Structure 1
Amino acid sequence: MAMFSQNPVLDGPNYSFAEAPQARADGFREHRFNPYTDNGGTTVAVAGDGFAMMAGDTRSTSGYSINTRFAPKVFKIGGSTSSQEDANILLSVVGFAADGEALKERLDAICKMYRYRHGKPMTVNACAKRLSTILYQKRFFPYYVYAILGGLDEENKGAVYSYDPVGSYEREQCRAGGAAASLIMPFLDNQVNFKNQYIPGSGVGHALQERERTPLPRSDVEVLVKDAFDSAVERHIEVGDALQVMVITKDGIEEKILPLKQD
């Protein structure tokens, strides 16, 4: 991921993970190497009744440079073949693209081995626990990614699990991760989790009755997710180009690509 602006300090192409040597008081120059970089992008996941939806933009950046306009961030996990046609789990990764690819490949291999040994796919709950241990095993040199896992649980209800880089996780109704997470998450809190939504005329002040929290239908979630990204691309330079949307149901996984702003 070279940024081919010539850097006179480094005497050559400038890489996003290289830092200029620092001069010290004793006359020596201190060299540093940072193996991480942030490749931008944002992902969103929403759990519903009978489906789970995951979406991510396709822009990959290094600083103010765009590496590519099509770098998918949502992946099928646990299929019996390389085409992943019968996969039953979705994983989204955003942050450092190389770590995201490595984490995706490792989890997919583990799920495939489980299917081969046991003759059945791994459940999303079991996969969520396994992903937590994978991340925790690398806690001293973590995968520099924000991961979200999605699928259907044993009751055919949508399940979404969000993670920090060292394996702490929780099941949620919805979650946004990545560059524009701080822009999108308040919107999801209000529209999906119904935070600060009350029944009109139910009282005054603390007597107000909260709106009942029920899963949204799939058609409403699709509109909300697209609206969230349309707003984010107006305010964040690391998000844009196209929107990859995957929906997992009992019938399988559907995928579609929607346009976003490219400037």
Structure 2
Amino acid sequence: MIRAFSNGVLSRSLLSQALINTRAPIRCRKPSPCDTCLFPQDKRPCFDIANVVVDRGNQCHAKFIRSFLYNHFWPREPSVVGLWMSLNSQYLDVLTDKYAHSGDRFIAYEKIARTGERKMIGVLVANKLFPWHADELEEWAHFTPSKPERHRMYFTAHCIKSPNLFKKYNVDFIYDVEVLTTASEVTAQGVGTLLLQNALLQAYELRYPLVQVVASSQYTARICEKCGMKREWEMDYTDFVDVYGQRVFFPRRPHHTVAIYVKYKDPKIGAIVPCKPQLT
């Protein structure tokens, strides 16, 4: 009798606990469209590319670009991470100052509808590249005591010399996209493609014959392919060795290769003439 009573109490307690667990949670707010996320788990929900605008940077944006590079670009750049290069490196400090204060700088902002503010979510920096830049890098690397800095300088000079684009396309300079980065929370959501499209449009309007992107990561390579750029050169990171024949780079997956993408515009072909209004 006592055993049956105890079994009945235990079964009723388990049944009530199961009903409590399956009961719908009590809402303390109104339902929101964000309760059902239609975006993949690796992407930020409620992000709309229509709220992104691209502006040209100037000297007033230098400190913001510098902070963005240290927070989003250098910690994810395969040519830096693969060398275990410290963020306190003087070489990275020089490059950051260069990218923050010179060249054509395109900044992507996301407009926050709730507050009306704008948040920086992407940066692109492009400069003119001349044939003697590779020799200057190798000479600078020869007198650099730090091995990671020296390896990256030789690597950059190797990427300039190997495809020999100056001779192939018979150009005096190349419009080189040196930095193309986005915030980690908006990766693969179209921000990098929007930045590169604006840079290509800028080059087209200024009649630059050749645009180059050194895609050191797989993400940058996909962006270049979306923008219709052509792959001219490719190399595995394992193929780049030092003077002793030892491997230098150990990047993270899936960044195993570096490639160069270009877009050529024949200067003999004129630009598109805008339509003039009809005379009435």
Q: Smaller-chain TM-score range?
A: under 0.3
Higher strand residue share: 1
Structure-1-length-normalised TM-score:
0.23
Structure-2-length-normalised TM-score:
0.22
Larger radius of gyration: 2
Which protein has greater RCO, CA pairs closer than 8 Å, 6+ apart? 1
